[in-house]
Amino acid sequence: MDMEAIANLLGVSKTTVHYAIWNTGRLSDQTRKRVLKLVQSMGYRPDGLARSFRRRRTDTLGVVVVTLTNSIHAHLLEGVESVAQQHRRAILVACSHGRSEVERELVDVFLEKGVDGVVVVPSDPAQNHDFYDGLLKQGVRLVFVDREVPGLNVELVSTDHEKGGYMEAQHLIKLGRKRLVCVATRSPEHRSTSVRERLLGIDRALREAGLAAPIVLGTDPPDFTVHEQYGYDVMRVFLKEGSGRFDAVCAVHDGLAYGAIRALTEAGLRVPKDVAVVGFDDQDPSAYFQPPLTTVRQPMREIGMEAGRLLFRRLSETGTTATRQRIVLEPTLVVRESSGTPQVR
């Protein structure tokens, strides 16, 4: 008999059964005893985890990222995994592909498998708010990375995204660029908090310089994890529409910058002579792209390590009501050829 069958017999959720078995969460003594009584009478043990069942832990962590097709999440995982190894833990990894419903399912699966805690790169700033709020009330150990879900008392480790956006726009302004186009993923209501903060930084730098707000491109593409194709598509459409003159592009991810550069080149625009381009993340290919991409570097391995340390710190505590920590690391502007110098007009 599996966990779902036990939940159906008792008329409770699988999560309730999970919490009773692993001695986590906030359940009444009556509910916990009722679940355990049936569990013991049916001889149920999580597959391959009898020893963990007795110890009430599995020595595993769950990590949910958006995708593994870019290097920043790979470096994030390296950081989390290095800390997990120090604590003799293993990690389970899954990708949400930016879909909130998939993200919920993956977190549920990890919890059903008895992970000790979960590190998540949340895909949407609002859609899973109630889901995570419920988990926190149940005592689940949770750390958000890179992005957050506003209004929740959750550990967070991220880059200072607004500062990074400010740095890239200020760099372009110092080069004499005056009209910026921003390539952003998704429509405004679904943009992650990291993207929103980067755009705020860009806008602040332009306002301080007395320049017009950026033109922001961004819709809800079918698969916005393929940043290169998306950046190419939205820039190509923008150029065809002829929506005004511009001399710089700020992409909120490096992959978007790669695609935008291809569209600019096909349209006969020279990078950086006609249009300067700046990305964000400093993915591994950016130094070798043509032209090499100016970008804002996130210290993703360090972010992963800090997330792991926070999670293990919380695992050693018994209480769940303490104010959670927010660790914000500094970004670094990496100047390469794609921003260049302005054309003399």
- Reported as a single tens digit per residue, the pLDDT across 226-250 is 789 999 999 999 999 987 789 999 9
Q: Please report which confidence band the pLDDT of residue 275 belongs to, taking 50, 70 and 90 as the band edges.
A: very high
Examine the pLDDT at 40 and tell me if it is beyond 80: no
More confident residue, 43 or 303: 303
* One domain, residues 170 and 142: no
What mean pLDDT do residues 300-326 have?
Answer: 84
* One domain, residues 154 and 28: no
Examine the pLDDT at 100 and tell me if it is beyond 70: yes
Q: Please report which confidence band the pLDDT of residue 341 belongs to, taking 50, 70 and 90 as the band edges.
A: low
Split into its structural domains, the chain has a count of 3
Among the residue ranges 2-16, 95-109, 155-169, the one predicted with the least confidence is 2-16
* One domain, residues 183 and 244: yes
Terminal-residue alpha carbon distance, the chain: 76
Mind giving me the DSSP string for 263-292? HHHHTT--TTTT-EEE-SB--GGGGTSSSP
The CATH code of the domain that includes 61 is: 3.40.50.2300
In terms of residue numbers, what domain contains 146? Answer: 52-159+301-330
How far is C-alpha 303 from the chain's CA centre? 11
What mean pLDDT do residues 183-208 have?
Answer: 90
The answer to whether residue 174 sits within a structural domain is yes
Buried b (16+ CB within 10 A) or exposed e, 2-26: ebeebbeebebebbbbbbbbbebbe
Examine the pLDDT at 22 and tell me if it is beyond 70: no
* One domain, residues 4 and 46: yes
Q: Please report which confidence band the pLDDT of residue 131 belongs to, taking 50, 70 and 90 as the band edges.
A: very high
The answer to whether residue 337 sits within a structural domain is no
What mean pLDDT do residues 115-132 have?
Answer: 92
What mean pLDDT do residues 171-182 have?
Answer: 96
* One domain, residues 223 and 271: yes
What mean pLDDT do residues 35-45 have?
Answer: 73
**Residues 326-336: tens digit of each pLDDT:** 999 999 999 99
* One domain, residues 3 and 25: yes
Assigned token pair, 343: 């054309």
* One domain, residues 203 and 168: yes
